């Protein structure tokens, strides 16, 4: 039993919540800044597209992201406000390439009701003040002084209590806001207020407008010369100002995002909830508005934010699908769309369900997620490591080395593949039929092992053997020249480049010399690969015979080596080979754990390749197989292309509909999903719900069962029953009738997969929604409304089976999430936290054993072990509770004790036991049990249960890291991780932030030394321990 948990992010949030454009990194730079809830990314718009400049975590959920330019400044500043009422103002330091905090503060109020429709943060266009609407009835003002510094904040009472949007107006001599609000009778209006800074109060503004479209919920302020405001409703768009009122009807839609196209404010892009992007034009003569016009442009992902960049390039940020960089063309395409998608940026969010499967039977889990929503729904296959897509393979034993060669210096493609064995060398080549066949290069010595090969200038090739270096014509294949090693000597290691001069280094065994003395000791074998440049930074990589890799920063002018780091890439000797993928330098480390080394965000990353025991590798860019690699593994030579290089590889399967639940069935090699398809063209009741069967390799739909009208698929599992050898899919449904608030009817459907089709074997009607199903003691456990119901699978006289109710338990508000272990049942309730039930076999009864008396609104539950249960709740927190079997009183035994609390900052939809990485028996972390979670923002995270000793050590490390690493904008990590909901805020306990701990590896050496001294543990030991943790995900 362990109550100590390590929480780490395997995949960062990808849901784009905010974006803005401005001159942030320099007056001449055009920057796109993106917020993904808890992270910000800064990009530079260049002729090559969006160039990432910075990607940093924020210790808070971002509620507001705005660029603004104080008086007299040449560059924009960035204002960030978080949902827990912290704010900061950031500036870019051009010299260091870092963010500088210009201001920070806390704008929380002790009393006040948090606003329902989301926090609002706005900045006066003339930079006189920042306005915040955080609590009902209050508008907070942070004034600027003449030098652009922030002064003390104050509150102004706002009469409107149900605010939908507030924006500052342009062109007003005094700061003026426009408020869109709803009255007690649900009618919507706008009014304006001037902010009187001296009196700290509002003054009635220049105009107001009553009785707008009842779906109005977005204001767009219009810059000079037109000024005024646009009010976006579901059926109407209104332009309103002191001297004009114009309205146009629109196709019913919900506009979620907008981007201004022109500095003069005459054109806007609007994105609606179906992914349609339209151009809204304010028609004007001189400076007088005469009308509005809207033109549909085409389809994008459903936009959460739209940023117009430059020259018709637009960034579309999305919460429900991938974000996109699009180009708006002047002419429509064949489908009538003016939208051209140039780039897609992966968004896993929202992850509403996932399963963990080993699809390729490699001993490593892959996460298959239900991602996206509405039309942008998809499945994503997420796996750790880089996949190889095999194109061709040949059985070959005993490969000692491989090199690719071109047939002439000017040929862009490789032709020859030189394969070296212990006593011979063979050459494979692509023939005219694009097949790999054995061939000869007469000038090569083929009776010995080749140590090195390379292309040389002037149509020449180089072969190095232990006794000679041979120069060969690549066109005639004849030997041009040869150098012999003196007798008694042999060549051990060699390298070369393409220039006339060939550097060959000869080492004698007793005393090898290196380019520069580094701290390399006691290693029997060395392989040196020097001057490897990643992202403009030179590194020296040293592969050791025991499976370790050293890397140094290399100063190419002085030869100085700094920032020594050591990582373990396996237990066998490593061979290193550079290759290029997507115009970026990578290094392939071949060993018993093949790894690709690359740089991202100016730091070296290591990503394992989904292969076992790769002994050698070389790039092989042939005309038939462009950008391929040749890989030698046990008994086989494979040529294949490599997936995108990243820590987690993501394969997207667009569905065009929204998958809500997924389950894998190993026996039938299928997935089954509950999905729904939206048909916005028709009116109400436009959803159709399905159970679909998919092939688990191709993800094709192979069978579909349509649910009834109003019937929702709520849950799906694969299970078998006592006394029945078959495996079934069981689906829980609910009938959502228009007149009912809570479903009173649902079904349990039992399917078999026969001949690739879903066959309905049995169905059972239920008196409520079937929110969850579990296989339980050879039976089926269902959460039906407020009850837990146990069904057994009974053979009828006619030979068919049916589900028969055995027993149940009620007392829940709504039983939404259920997990089982042995005879214990853990229930996550809608609003009453976690309860523990036990099934009594002899009595055929389910009884409550204990429960957590906190009123937590649950979103996911999992059983960590026999006594510890994990929950995620509505305010983005994680907590653990413990069964207290040894309590002295019934009350003590009946109470689940809260033993861990932590603010994750993410809304968790699902926990599953499993691992994203191979569990290696020789690894220390291989024995640590892990739970994977998926969130609305597309985060995939891992929670690991640590032994106490390790927890205590890491807690000290975390504490010291907090002192060394400061949050962006002065935000506090300790405050960020404190458990927080509307009732209480308490310090995090028994949870560690793995993201912070693993950032130790990114520190420079002096900061590492600082922490090493504080903990009295060597840097090498610290790195080793933290490296091991990174192998959890």
Partner 1 sequence: MNKRKALPDLCNREVGHLSPRNFALRLGSSEDLVLRLQLLRNLQKHRGCVNAVSFNADGDILVSGSDDCGIILWDWETGRIRLSFHSGHSNNVFQAKIMPHSDDRTIVTCAADGQVRHAQLLENGRVETKCLAKHQGRAHKLAIEPGSPHIFYTCGEDGLVQRFDLRTGAATELFTCQPIKDRWSYMPVIHLNAIAIDPRNPNLFAVAGSDEYARLYDIRKYKWDGSTDFGQPTNFFCPPHLIGDQQVGITGLAFSELRELLVSYNDELIYLFTQDMGLGPNPPDPVSPKSMNSDASEIGFSHGSVSSQSKMDADEKVTPQVFKGHRNCETVKGVNFFGPKCEYVVSGSDCGRIFIWKKKSGQLIRVMEADKYVVNCIESHPHTMVLASSGIEHDIKIWTPKALEKATLPKNIEQKPKAKGWMYRIAYPEDLMQLISLPRRRVRTESNGENSSTDRDLLQLILTFNANSDSSNEDDDDGDTTSQDDLFS
Q: Which of 34, 53, 544, 816 binds partner 1 (CB under 8 A)?
A: 816
CB 979 within 8 A of CB 903: yes
Q: Which of 743, 871, 900, 941 binds partner 1 (CB under 8 A)?
A: 743
Q: Which of 742, 823, 924, 1002 binds partner 1 (CB under 8 A)?
A: 742
CB of 942 to partner 1, least distance (A): 21
Site for partner 1 in 327-366 (CB under 8 A): 349-350, 352
Residue 813 interacts with partner 1 (CB under 8 A): yes or no: yes
Residue 823 interacts with partner 1 (CB under 8 A): yes or no: no
Residue in this structure with the two tokens 């998919």, named with its chain if needed: 694
CB 417 within 8 A of CB 665: no
Site for partner 1 in 373-412 (CB under 8 A): 373
The closest of 810, 790, 931 to 868, measured between CA atoms, is 931
**Residue 992 neighbours by CB under 8 Å, 6+ apart:** 4, 5, 6, 7, 946, 951, 954, 955, 958
x/- contact string, 878-897, with partner 1 (CB under 8 A)? -------------x---x--
CB of 167 to partner 1, least distance (A): 21
Three-class secondary structure of residue 538 per DSSP: strand
Site for partner 1 in 147-186 (CB under 8 A): 157, 161-162, 184, 186
CB of 740 to partner 1, least distance (A): 8
H or E segment and range at residue 223: none
CB of 305 to partner 1, least distance (A): 14
Q: Which of 86, 664, 787, 882 binds partner 1 (CB under 8 A)?
A: 787
Residue 202 interacts with partner 1 (CB under 8 A): yes or no: no
Given the complex with partner 1, which of 266 and 835 has the nearer CB atom?
A: 835
Residue 859 interacts with partner 1 (CB under 8 A): yes or no: yes
Query: Which among 92-100, 415-423, 870-878, 922-930 is the span making contact with partner 1, rule CB under 8 A?
Result: 870-878
Three-class secondary structure of residue 968 per DSSP: helix
Sign of CA dihedral 309, 312, 313, 314: positive
CB 642 within 8 A of CB 336: no
Query: How far apart are alpha carbons 609 and 631 in whole angstroms?
Result: 11
Three-class secondary structure of residue 330 per DSSP: coil
Q: Which of 30, 73, 104, 114 binds partner 1 (CB under 8 A)?
A: 114
Residue 875 interacts with partner 1 (CB under 8 A): yes or no: yes
Residue 524 interacts with partner 1 (CB under 8 A): yes or no: no
CB of 750 to partner 1, least distance (A): 21
Query: How far apart are alpha carbons 806 and 791 in whole angstroms?
Result: 5
By DSSP bridging, strand 49-57 and strand 39-46 are antiparallel
Three-class secondary structure of residue 745 per DSSP: coil
Residue 15 interacts with partner 1 (CB under 8 A): yes or no: yes
Residue 736 interacts with partner 1 (CB under 8 A): yes or no: yes
Residue 251 interacts with partner 1 (CB under 8 A): yes or no: no
The radius of gyration computed from the CA coordinates of the chain, to the nearest angstrom, equals 32
CB of 810 to partner 1, least distance (A): 6
Angle formed by the axes of helices 1019-1030 and 948-964, nearest 10°: 110
The closest of 322, 327, 318 to 298, measured between CA atoms, is 327
Query: How far apart are alpha carbons 458 and 474 in whole angstroms?
Result: 9
Query: Which among 53-61, 489-497, 854-862, 994-1002 is the span making contact with partner 1, rule CB under 8 A?
Result: 854-862
Q: Which of 285, 983, 1006, 1016 binds partner 1 (CB under 8 A)?
A: 983
Query: How far apart are alpha carbons 51 and 535 in whole angstroms?
Result: 12
Angle formed by the axes of helices 1005-1015 and 948-964, nearest 10°: 130
Query: Which among 40-48, 110-118, 356-364, 496-504 is the span making contact with partner 1, rule CB under 8 A?
Result: 110-118
CB of 236 to partner 1, least distance (A): 18
Cα separation values, 889 from 200, 798, 835, 892, Å: 58, 52, 18, 5
Residue 720 interacts with partner 1 (CB under 8 A): yes or no: no
Residue 769 interacts with partner 1 (CB under 8 A): yes or no: yes
Given the complex with partner 1, which of 162 and 362 has the nearer CB atom?
A: 162
Residues binding partner 1: number (CB under 8 A): 58
CB of 806 to partner 1, least distance (A): 18
Q: Which of 341, 359, 831, 964 binds partner 1 (CB under 8 A)?
A: 831
CB of 699 to partner 1, least distance (A): 21
CB 773 within 8 A of CB 718: no
**Residue 268 neighbours by CB under 8 Å, 6+ apart:** 220, 230, 258, 259, 260, 261, 279, 280
The footprint of partner 1 (CB under 8 A) covers 15, 110-114, 116, 118, 136-137, 157, 161-162, 184, 186, 319-320, 349-350, 352, 373, 658, 660, 712, 714, 734, 736, 738, 740-743, 769, 786-787, 810-811, 813-814, 816, 830-831, 853, 855, 857, 859, 874-876, 891, 895, 907, 909, 936-937, 982-984
């Amino acid at each position: 039993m362990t109550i100590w948990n390590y929480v780490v992010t395997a995949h960062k949030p990808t849901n784009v919540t905010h974006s803005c454009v401005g001159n942030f990194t320099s007056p001449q730079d055009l920057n796109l800044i993106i917020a993904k809830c808890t992270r910000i990314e800064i990009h530079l718009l260049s002729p090559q597209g969006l160039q990432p400049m910075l990607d940093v975590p924020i210790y808070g959920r971002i509620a507001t992201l705005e660029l603004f330019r104080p008086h007299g400044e040449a560059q924009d500043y960035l204002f960030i406000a978080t949902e827990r009422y912290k704010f900061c103002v950031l500036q870019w330091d051009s010299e260091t390439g870092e963010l500088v905090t210009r201001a920070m503060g806390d704008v929380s109020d002790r009393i006040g009701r948090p606003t329902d429709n989301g926090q609002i943060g706005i900045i006066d266009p003339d930079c006189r003040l920042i306005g915040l609407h955080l609590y009902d009835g209050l508008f907070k003002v942070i004034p600027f002084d003449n030098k652009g510094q922030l002064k003390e904040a104050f509150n102004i009472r706002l009469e409107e209590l149900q605010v939908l949007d507030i924006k500052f107006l342009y062109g007003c001599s005094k700061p003026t806001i426009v408020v869109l609000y709803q009255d007690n009778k649900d009618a919507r209006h706008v009014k304006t207020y001037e902010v009187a800074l001296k009196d700290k109060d509002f003054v009635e503004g220049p105009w107001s407008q009553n009785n707008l479209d009842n779906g109005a919920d977005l204001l767009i302020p219009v810059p000079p010369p037109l000024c005024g405001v646009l009010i976006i409703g579901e059926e109407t768009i209104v332009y309103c100002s002191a001297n004009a009122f114009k309205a146009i009807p629109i196709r019913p839609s919900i506009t979620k995002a907008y981007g201004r196209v022109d500095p003069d404010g005459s054109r806007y892009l609007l994105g609606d909830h179906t992914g349609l992007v339209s151009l809204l034009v304010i028609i004007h003569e001189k400076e007088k508005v005469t009308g509005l016009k809207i033109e549909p442009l085409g389809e994008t992902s459903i936009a959460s934010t739209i940023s117009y960049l430059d020259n018709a390039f637009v960034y579309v940020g999305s919460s429900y699908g991938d974000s996109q960089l699009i180009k708006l063309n002047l002419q429509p395409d064949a489908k009538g769309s003016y939208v051209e998608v140039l780039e897609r940026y992966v968004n896993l969010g929202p992850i509403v369900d996932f399963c963990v499967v080993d699809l390729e039977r490699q001993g490593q889990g892959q996460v298959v997620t239900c991602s996206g929503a509405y039309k942008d729904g998809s499945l994503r296959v997420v796996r750790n490591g880089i996949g190889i897509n095999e194109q061709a393979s040949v059985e070959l034993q005993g490969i000692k080395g491989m090199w690719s060669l071109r047939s002439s210096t000017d040929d862009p493609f490789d032709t020859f593949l030189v394969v070296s064995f212990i006593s011979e060398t063979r050459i494979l080549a692509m023939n005219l039929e694009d097949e790999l066949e054995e061939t000869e290069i007469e000038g090569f010595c083929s009776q010995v092992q080749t140590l090195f090969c390379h292309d040389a200038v002037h149509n020449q090739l180089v072969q190095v053997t232990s006794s000679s270096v041979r120069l060969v014509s690549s066109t005639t294949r004849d030997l041009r020249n040869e150098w012999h090693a003196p007798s008694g000597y042999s060549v051990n290691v060699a390298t070369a480049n393409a220039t006339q001069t060939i550097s060959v280094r000869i080492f004698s065994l007793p005393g090898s010399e290196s380019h520069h003395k580094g701290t390399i000791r006691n290693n029997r074998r060395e392989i040196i690969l020097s001057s490897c440049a990643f992202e403009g930074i030179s590194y020296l990589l040293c592969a050791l015979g025991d499976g370790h890799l050293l890397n140094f920063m290399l100063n190419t002018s002085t030869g100085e080596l700094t920032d020594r780091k050591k990582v373990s890439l396996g237990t066998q000797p490593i061979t290193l080979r550079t290759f290029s993928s997507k115009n970026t330098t990578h290094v392939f480390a071949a060993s018993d754990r093949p790894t690709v080394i690359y740089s991202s965000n100016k730091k070296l990353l290591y990503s394992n390749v989904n292969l076992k025991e790769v002994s050698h590798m070389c790039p092989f860019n042939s005309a038939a197989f462009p950008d391929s690699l040749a890989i030698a593994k046990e008994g086989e030579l494979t040529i294949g292309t490599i997936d995108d290089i990243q820590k987690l590889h993501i394969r997207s399967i667009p569905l065009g509909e929204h998958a809500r639940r997924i389950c894998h069935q190993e026996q039938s090699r299928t997935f089954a999903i509950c999905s729904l398809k939206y048909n916005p063209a028709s009116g109400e009741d436009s959803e159709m719900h399905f159970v679909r069967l998919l092939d688990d390799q191709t993800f094709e739909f192979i069978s579909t069962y349509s649910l009834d009208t109003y019937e929702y698929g709520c849950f799906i599992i694969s299970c078998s029953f006592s006394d029945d050898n078959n495996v079934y899919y069981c689906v829980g449904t609910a009938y959502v009738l228009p007149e009912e608030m809570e479903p009173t009817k649902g079904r349990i459907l039992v399917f078999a997969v026969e001949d690739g089709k879903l066959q309905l074997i049995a169905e059972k009607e239920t008196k409520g929604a079937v929110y969850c199903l579990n296989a339980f003691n050879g039976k089926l456990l269902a959460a039906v409304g407020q009850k837990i119901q146990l069904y057994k699978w009974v053979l009828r006289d006619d030979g068919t089976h049916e589900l028969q109710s055995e027993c149940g338990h009620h007392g829940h508000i709504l039983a939404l999430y259920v997990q089982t272990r042995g005879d214990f049942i853990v229930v996550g309730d809608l609003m009453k936290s976690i309860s523990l039930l036990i099934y009594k076999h002899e009595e055929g009864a389910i009884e409550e054993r204990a429960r957590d008396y906190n009123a937590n609104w649950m979103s996911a539950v999992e059983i960590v072990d026999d006594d510890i249960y994990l929950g995620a709740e509505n305010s983005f927190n994680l907590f653990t509770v413990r069964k207290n079997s040894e309590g002295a009183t019934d009350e003590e035994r009946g109470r689940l004790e809260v033993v861990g609390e932590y603010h994750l900052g993410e809304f968790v939809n699902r926990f599953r036991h499993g691992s994203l990485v191979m569990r290696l028996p020789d690894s220390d972390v291989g024995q640590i049990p892990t739970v994977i979670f998926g969130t609305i923002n597309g985060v995939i995270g891992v929670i690991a249960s640590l032994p106490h000793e390790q927890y205590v050590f890491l807690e000290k490390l975390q504490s010291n890291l907090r002192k060394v690493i400061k949050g962006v904008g002065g935000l506090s990590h300790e405050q960020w991780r404190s458990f927080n909901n509307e009732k209480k805020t308490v310090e995090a306990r028994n949870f560690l932030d793995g993201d912070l701990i693993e950032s130790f590896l990114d520190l420079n050496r002096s900061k590492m030394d600082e922490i090493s001294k504080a903990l009295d543990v060597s840097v090498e030991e610290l790195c080793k321990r933290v490296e091991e943790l990174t192998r959890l995900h």
